[in-house]
A and B are shown apart, each in its own frame.
Chain A
């Protein structure tokens, strides 16, 4: 009888230990996934912001007529003139967001594109960043008033959100149900990026 009780007790204990081990393993794997997704998303956001703001700060450089710098100013598309290589040749720079990627597990996933070229000679794709779920632009004049006139644009407000393609567990909540998992995200909003080479109007 005692042996049977020992067997039952040890089986229960072993089951508990195995369950604890599995749960630990699950938490470690999900936590690691979440950590990696967060890091990748943040690195991606910072890289995009650096590249985008670098271009925006050069906007209008070496362009004779500052009122013609911005070629297109939509809420998710900007095209402008600048001398990127400082070689006296004016380039066009386009930043815009593409369509939703239907093959991505994240339904909001899109690609942010950067194209450069020369006015009237087309442009070529020089960069793309997936995982962008929001690329919003607002244009303001030198008084901070929203404007639709490209010749009056002096300040650009940008909002950018990058998300992971896969849902991940919130690493701060252990044993979280899959239905409560969400996409890792990082957000950036630069509300007052003034073009250094754009002329202020009198």
Chain B
């Protein structure tokens, strides 16, 4: 084989290698996208579950057993969160389940397959059926939407009739963080 033929052969092999590498790379990228999408679907189911659950609660601790007519009766913005006597879905009779929206402020729950791992979130949910681990964090803030002005993005420093629930879902197997904001209002 002459030198020219050798160079041509090596060049052809190089081109073929580039094509194979490129094809494999495309396949793996497609797989990443589809897997991300699959994890996204499951993450959405978890986030909407939490939103549904919070929607079923009273607007405020003050509204759990009676009506509220004055904003001053509502929980102050700095005190949002569960009362000391409350725990999420507890079976402990000395505690009560969460009963109002802002009990879910700073609420975190994880759905992990390997339950031997140390707990990262406050609560741990049933991970059976999921093909990835999920971590969910909820925040609750007051937002202003009154007197013709609506600012639903920034937390309000004072009580309002509107609370914004922000659910964030992350997964070590997904690049994306899913965020679900929902505004819940009190009508009196």
A residues near B (Cβ < 8 Å) are 6, 9-10, 13, 17, 20-21, 24, 27-28, 31, 34-35, 38-39, 42, 45-46, 49, 134, 142-144, 155, 159, 161, 170-172, 174, 185-194
Contact = CB atoms under 8 A, between A and B. Distances in A.
Contacts of A24: 19-20, 23-24
A115 to B, nearest CB: 25
Contacts, number: 97
B31 interface: yes
Given A159-B129, A171-B28, A187-B130, A192 B16 contact: no
Q: Is the interface of B mostly helix, strand, loop or mixed?
A: helix
A192 B50 CA distance: 7
A171 B31 contact: yes
Given A28-B27, A190-B52, 14 more contacts: A6-B1, A21-B16, A27-B23, A31-B31, A144-B97, A155-B56, A171-B27, A171-B31, A174-B24, A187-B129, A187-B130, A191-B53, A192-B50, A194-B55
Given A13-B9, A35-B31, A172-B31, A188 B24 contact: no
A192 B20 contact: no
Most chain A Cβ neighbours within 10 Å, of B34, B46, B48: B34
Nearest to B55: A194
Nearest first, the 7 closest Cβ-Cβ pairs linking A and B are A171-B31, A192-B53, A31-B27, A191-B49, A38-B34, A192-B52, A172-B31
A186 B45 contact: no
A126 B1 CA distance: 72
Nearest to B37: A42
Given A42-B37, A45-B41, A189-B129, A171 B49 contact: no
A31 B33 CA distance: 13
B49 A192 contact: yes
Nearest to B51: A192
B97 A38 contact: no
A35 B30 contact: yes
Nearest to B50: A192
